[in-house]
RNA sequence: GGCCCGGUAGUUCAGUCGGUUAGAACGCUAGCCUGUCACGCUAGAGGUCGUGGGUUCGAGUCCCAUCCGGGUCGCCA
């Protein structure tokens, strides 16, 4: 049976014992990371969340205590009282390596089975196993420091916004389903058979109503839920740092958030951020980087060749241009040596993944120039392209043409990232933070044949584009902005519509009747009759921020208890079946279920 | 829903052209060991080769299906 803790109180953390505590009697507590039994001499590495301290036992140690020490195995929970002394041989690899606790009393508070994998940093264990035993994986320093960084960022954000007179307001977790946008997680109502709540995809409407209520500056560390497929940087349940402000324009919101970023980079990373941050428009981001979340840590920028080729006879380019599309290219400087014909064919597969029909190229080596398309062009066209692209010996030019600009951007944008990674063009330990502004208000869905709100239907149009709300939806710009870090969207926000007339235009543009708008958002429209301050806000993905700051590949590495790709949790094995009684109470009949 | 990658002792992996008793390291168990810290030495245990089916004289290896995990496209207002 395990020992009790009675009468013993921890007096120090393992990682914090130091030479100036030598001679003091201390009580340490933690997990046995390692036991080294040398016969008449035993050492135990005791681990807690601050680090490791060495416990020492020898033949002057009481027989019972020595016996316990020799029975200790990995992950036993121990409490040890003793006097801190200088080690006979110092370990320079750990901060506490000059001292050890010479133990007079040892309590084994809990034994442990041999853990299914080693609990140490840098292990290469299969993630499935680590997730099944997440509580063991979380004992590792690597994960502990990620969770600690989360804590520090959240604390810092709360302090920062408090200092700037923001109020943290808790918004409901059970709320009205929102039919547009991501799929909702639904929660059945027992009291209202056949009716459902939804978990929030974001506290959007409540934070806007908080502005209407006069709180003026709102913030929340908000848990959000989206029932969509997962990715390395996407979980069904995630955390946002969510804010909303009244009597502000875009720059006011951005300025407050830049201040937070500056504090985070300074306090967490020890880096000075230059403010104001760089701003580029959506249009420029797409044209130069082929992405609305451009990674600008490296070049490989896109160039438009459409004007040079406007009267070309080459069918591939000609049909793209005649249909209103474009021909664009990137020059991969000096890559001819590394990119063989075969490699370029593989790049074509990448482009095809993004619906490009093919990838045209020119490869210039010392020996020869090989090109998939130049034989179809005139001398003048070739010369103009080489000039604009600065094409020299050793370079590889990649060209994508398509009737849809979006395909050209997506394909070249993906190639750009792919090549930068492969060729090692991305500098390490560089954090490139910028605003992308002037997003389009609408996005066309060719399948449905209609426009959707790119952000959400409460995003304010740019006033200069108001008349286009009736004539040219695709050209209307939104007062929306994204914060981008190293090619990942960290957060986004907008100035909201506070004018009922503009809101009506918005719903009309989305093909939503007045009745439909009232049914879905009636409470908001009603509220907006009673004095709406101009307002706007922003939300950041906390998980992504921590992931990027720690240079992790996956968001799972910074979430304490994450879900796997099929949205289940391996440790508790949820979701799960529920008993018929529970379903009956909810008036729910299951028509199809998983084994 | 589509495509791609992976699954062999507790863990990380190797396993040749389909061939006889499936290996290594670490971990684990036992014994010895007074300055270790990747302790050392000796001995030992440990396998449904993800699962099911098929081809074959013979399958970890080939084929089909399926499960699990990862990446990605669609999706993510």
ipTM of the complex: 0.92
Nucleic strand B under 7 Å from the C-beta of A296: no
The pLDDT, as a whole number, for residue A592 is 78
Nucleic strand B under 7 Å from the C-beta of A353: yes
Q: What is the pLDDT of residues A490-522, one digit of tens each?
A: 999 999 999 988 998 898 888 888 888 888 888
Q: How many C-alpha atoms does A21 have within 13 Å on its Cβ side?
A: 21
Q: Closest by alpha carbon to A178, among A197, A195, A191, A192?
A: A197
Q: What is the pLDDT of residues A562-587, one digit of tens each?
A: 999 999 999 998 999 889 999 999 99
pLDDT band at A424; cut points 50, 70, 90:
confident
Q: What is the pLDDT of residues A399-423, one digit of tens each?
A: 999 999 999 999 999 999 999 988 8
In angstroms, the CA of A237 and the C1' of B76 are apart by 12
List strand B contacts in A 175-204 (CB < 7 A): 178, 180-183, 201-202, 204
Write down the number of H helices and E strands in chain A. Answer: 16, 22
Q: Which nucleotide is nearest to A94 (CA to C1')?
A: B37
Does A108 score more than 80 pLDDT?
Answer: yes
Q: What is the pLDDT of residues A393-405, one digit of tens each?
A: 999 999 999 999 9
Q: What is the pLDDT of residues A541-564, one digit of tens each?
A: 999 999 999 999 899 999 999 999
3-state class (DSSP) for residue A398: strand
Distance CA A410, CA A417 (A): 11
And the tokens for A17?
Answer: 């014992």
User: Long-range contacts for A272-276 (Cβ within 8 Å, ≥24 apart)?
Assistant: A273/A433
Q: What is the pLDDT of residues A183-228, one digit of tens each?
A: 999 999 999 999 999 999 999 999 999 999 999 999 999 999 999 9
Distance CA A461, CA A502 (A): 8
Nucleic strand B under 7 Å from the C-beta of A113: no
Distance CA A406, CA A337 (A): 31
What region, left, alpha or beta, does residue A16 occupy, with left being phi > 0 and alpha being psi -120 to 50 degrees?
alpha
Higher pLDDT, A427 or A247: A247
List strand B contacts in A 40-59 (CB < 7 A): 40-41, 43, 45, 54, 56, 58-59
Is A202 within 8 Å of A539 (Cβ atoms)?
yes
Look up tokens 């709100």; give the residue. A453
How distant, in Å, are the alpha carbons of A77, A79, A217 from that of A35? 12, 15, 54
And the tokens for A380?
Answer: 């003048």
Nucleic strand B under 7 Å from the C-beta of A440: no
List strand B contacts in A 92-111 (CB < 7 A): 93-94, 97, 100
Q: Which nucleotide is nearest to A205 (CA to C1')?
A: B77
The pLDDT, as a whole number, for residue A595 is 60
Q: Which nucleotide is nearest to A354 (CA to C1')?
A: B73
Residue A480 class from Cβ within 10 Å (0-12 exposed, 13-18 middle, 19+ buried)?
buried
The DSSP element (H or E) to which A433 belongs, if any, is strand A433-437
Q: Which nucleotides of B are covered by protein (CB under 7 A)?
A: 1, 10-13, 26-29, 32-40, 68-77
Distance CA A290, CA A415 (A): 9
Distance CA A364, CA A372 (A): 12
Q: What is the mean pLDDT of residues A70-79?
A: 96
Nucleic strand B under 7 Å from the C-beta of A34: yes
Number of other residues whose CB lies within 10 A of the CB of residue A370? 14
In angstroms, the CA of A125 and the C1' of B56 are apart by 37
Q: What is the mean pLDDT of residues A440-447?
A: 85
Nucleic strand B under 7 Å from the C-beta of A346: no
Q: How many C-alpha atoms does A22 have within 13 Å on its Cβ side?
A: 10
Is A46 within 8 Å of A53 (Cβ atoms)?
yes
Nucleic strand B under 7 Å from the C-beta of A38: yes
How distant, in Å, are the alpha carbons of A176, A531, A582, A583 from that of A589? 22, 45, 11, 7
Is A362 within 8 Å of A371 (Cβ atoms)?
yes
Look up tokens 């080693």; give the residue. A118
Nucleic strand B under 7 Å from the C-beta of A39: yes
How distant, in Å, are the alpha carbons of A53, A133, A227, A300 from that of A136? 19, 5, 28, 43
Q: What is the pLDDT of residues A379-395, one digit of tens each?
A: 999 999 999 999 999 99
In angstroms, the CA of A114 and the C1' of B33 are apart by 24
Distance CA A83, CA A57 (A): 11
Closest CA-bearing residue to C1' of B29: A114
Nucleic strand B under 7 Å from the C-beta of A233: yes
In angstroms, the CA of A77 and the C1' of B18 are apart by 51
Instruction: Return mean pLDDT, chain A.
Output: 93
- Spell out the SS3 assignment of A175-230: ECCCCCCCCCCEEECCCCCCCEEECCCCCHHHHHHHHHCCCCEEEEEEEEECCCCC
List strand B contacts in A 531-560 (CB < 7 A): 554, 556
Nucleic strand B under 7 Å from the C-beta of A567: no
In angstroms, the CA of A116 and the C1' of B11 are apart by 7
Distance CA A329, CA A398 (A): 5
Nucleic strand B under 7 Å from the C-beta of A20: no
In angstroms, the CA of A118 and the C1' of B58 are apart by 39
Nucleic strand B under 7 Å from the C-beta of A63: no
Does A279 score more than 90 pLDDT?
Answer: yes
In angstroms, the CA of A119 and the C1' of B9 are apart by 19
Distance CA A557, CA A134 (A): 11
What region, left, alpha or beta, does residue A546 occupy, with left being phi > 0 and alpha being psi -120 to 50 degrees?
alpha
In angstroms, the CA of A414 and the C1' of B64 are apart by 36
In angstroms, the CA of A76 and the C1' of B14 are apart by 33
Tell me the whole-structure pTM to 2 decimals: 0.93
Distance CA A468, CA A472 (A): 5
In angstroms, the CA of A94 and the C1' of B64 are apart by 55
Nucleic strand B under 7 Å from the C-beta of A568: yes
The pLDDT, as a whole number, for residue A266 is 97
Nucleic strand B under 7 Å from the C-beta of A114: yes
Residue A384 CA from chain centroid, whole number: 42
Q: What is the pLDDT of residues A114-164, one digit of tens each?
A: 999 999 888 889 999 999 999 999 999 999 999 999 999 999 999 999 999
């Amino acid at each position: 049976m395990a020992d009790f803790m009675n009468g013993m109180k921890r007096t120090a953390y393992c990682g914090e014992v130091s030479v100036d505590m030598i001679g003091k009697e201390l009580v340490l507590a933690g997990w046995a990371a390692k036991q080294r039994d040398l016969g008449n001499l035993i050492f135990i590495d005791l681990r807690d969340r601050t680090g490791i301290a060495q416990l020492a036992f020898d033949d002057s140690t009481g027989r019972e205590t020595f016996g316990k020490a020799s029975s200790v195995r990995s992950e036993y929970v121990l409490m040890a009282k003793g006097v801190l002394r200088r080690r006979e041989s110092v370990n320079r690899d750990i901060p506490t390596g000059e001292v050890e606790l010479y133990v007079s009393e040892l309590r084994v508070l809990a034994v442990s089975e041999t853990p299914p994998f080693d609990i140490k940093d840098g292990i290469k264990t299969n993630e499935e196993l680590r997730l099944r035993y997440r509580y063991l994986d979380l004992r590792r320093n690597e994960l502990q420091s990620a969770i600690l960084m989360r804590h520090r960022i959240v604390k810092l954000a709360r302090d920062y916004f408090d200092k700037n007179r923001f109020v943290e307001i808790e918004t409901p977790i059970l709320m009205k389903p929102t039919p547009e946008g991501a799929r909702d997680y639904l929660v059945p109502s027992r009291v209202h058979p056949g009716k459902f709540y939804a978990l929030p995809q974001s506290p959007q409407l409540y934070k806007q109503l908080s502005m209407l209520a006069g709180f003026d500056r709102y913030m929340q560390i908000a848990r959000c839920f989206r029932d969509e497929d997962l990715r390395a940087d996407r979980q069904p349940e995630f955390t946002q740092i969510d804010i909303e402000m009244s009597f502000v324009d875009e720059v006011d919101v951005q300025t407050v958030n830049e201040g937070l970023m500056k504090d985070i980079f300074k306090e967490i990373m020890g880096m000075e951020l230059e403010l104001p941050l760089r701003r580029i428009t959506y249009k420029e981001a797409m044209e130069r980087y082929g992405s609305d979340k451009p990674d600008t840590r490296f070049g490989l920028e896109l160039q438009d060749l459409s004007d040079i080729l406007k009267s070309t006879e080459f069918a591939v380019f000609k049909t793209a241009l005649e249909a209103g599309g474009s021909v664009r290219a990137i020059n991969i400087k000096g890559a001819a040596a590394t990119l063989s014909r075969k490699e370029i064919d593989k790049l074509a597969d990448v482009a095809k993944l993004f619906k490009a029909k093919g990838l045209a190229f020119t490869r210039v080596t010392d020996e020869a120039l090989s090109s998939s398309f130049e034989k179809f062009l005139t001398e003048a066209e070739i010369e103009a392209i080489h000039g604009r692209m600065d094409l020299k010996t050793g370079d590889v030019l990649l060209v994508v043409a398509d009737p849809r600009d979006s395909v050209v951007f997506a394909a070249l944008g993906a190639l750009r990232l792919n090549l930068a990674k492969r060729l090692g063009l991305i500098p390490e330990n560089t954090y490139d933070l910028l605003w992308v502004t002037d997003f389009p208000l609408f996005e066309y869905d060719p399948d449905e044949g209609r426009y959707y709100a790119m952000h959400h239907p409460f995003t304010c149009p740019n006033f200069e584009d108001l008349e286009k709300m009736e004539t040219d939806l695709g050209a209307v710009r939104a007062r929306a902005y994204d914060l981008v870090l190293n090619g990942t969207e960290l957060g986004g926000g907008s100035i909201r519509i506070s004018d009922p007339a503009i809101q009506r235009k918005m719903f009309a543009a989305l093909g939503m009747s007045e009745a439909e708008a009232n049914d879905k958002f009636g409470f908001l429209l009603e509220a907006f009759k009673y004095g709406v301050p101009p307002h706007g806000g922003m939300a950041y993905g906390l998980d992504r921020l921590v992931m990027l700051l720690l240079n992790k590949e996956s968001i799972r590495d910074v979430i304490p208890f994450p879900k796997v790709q099929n949205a289940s949790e391996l440790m508790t094995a949820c979701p799960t079946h529920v008993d018929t009684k529970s379903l009956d109470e909810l008036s729910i009949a299951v028509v199809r279920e998983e084994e």
